[in-house]
């Protein structure tokens, strides 16, 4: 008889920053809870599964002490995602929802539904942010006070040079 042990904890996402710049490399680590067999991890970005070539599975962490017959294992996975214009969708600020899901292969999901953790980060396009900012000067915009101050400053500077 084969006994499965389902993880009790949700996977943990680590090393995810609050925000990234367009062109950066997003690297995040996901660690599953302990289970037997070892849990499988799946990454999602904005609810879309991530291609396997962007994921590196590290060796399982050491087994968690249990009884003599069950050796609980944890899985560690690294997501490496280059943040390009396709991801930013030509916007100044693009939220990314990063999800790591842990499941046990061969177990009916109705009996043991996958456990997931989701975190959100922001991708910033510096070019879009600069282009969208309005640059304000006290000497622009038709302010009468600003024009008078500028005139006085110019007059004082001109008087010193003469």
The pLDDT tens digits for 94-148 are 999 999 999 988 777 777 889 999 999 999 998 876 655 544 445 445 444 444 5
Residue 132: per-residue pLDDT: 54
Residue 9: per-residue pLDDT: 92
**In the chain, where are the structural domains located?**
12-134
Q: In what order do the strands lie in the sheet with 93-103?
A: 19-21, 115-124, 93-103, 40-45, 48-49
In the Cβ-directed half-sphere of 124, how many Cα atoms lie within 13 Å? 10
Q: What percent of the chain has pLDDT over 70?
A: 70
Would you state the CATH architecture of domain 12-134? Sandwich (2.60)
Is pTM beyond 0.85 here? no
């Amino acid at each position: 008889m084969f006994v499965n042990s389902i993880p009790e904890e949700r996977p943990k996402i680590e090393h995810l920053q609050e925000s990234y710049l367009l062109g950066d490399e997003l690297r995040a680590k996901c660690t599953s809870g302990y289970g037997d067999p070892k849990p499988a991890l799946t990454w999602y970005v904005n609810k879309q599964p991530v291609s396997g070539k962007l994921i590196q599975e590290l060796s399982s962490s050491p087994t968690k002490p249990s009884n003599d017959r069950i050796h609980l294992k944890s899985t560690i996975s690294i997501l490496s995602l280059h943040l390009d214009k396709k991801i930013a969708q030509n916007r100044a600020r693009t939220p990314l929802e990063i999800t790591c899901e842990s499941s046990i292969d061969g177990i009916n999901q109705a009996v043991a539904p996958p456990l997931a953790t989701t975190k959100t980060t922001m991708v910033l396009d510096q070019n879009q942010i600069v282009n969208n900012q309005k640059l304000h000067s006290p000497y622009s915009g038709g302010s009468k006070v600003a024009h008078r101050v500028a005139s006085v400053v110019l007059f004082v500077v001109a008087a010193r040079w003469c």
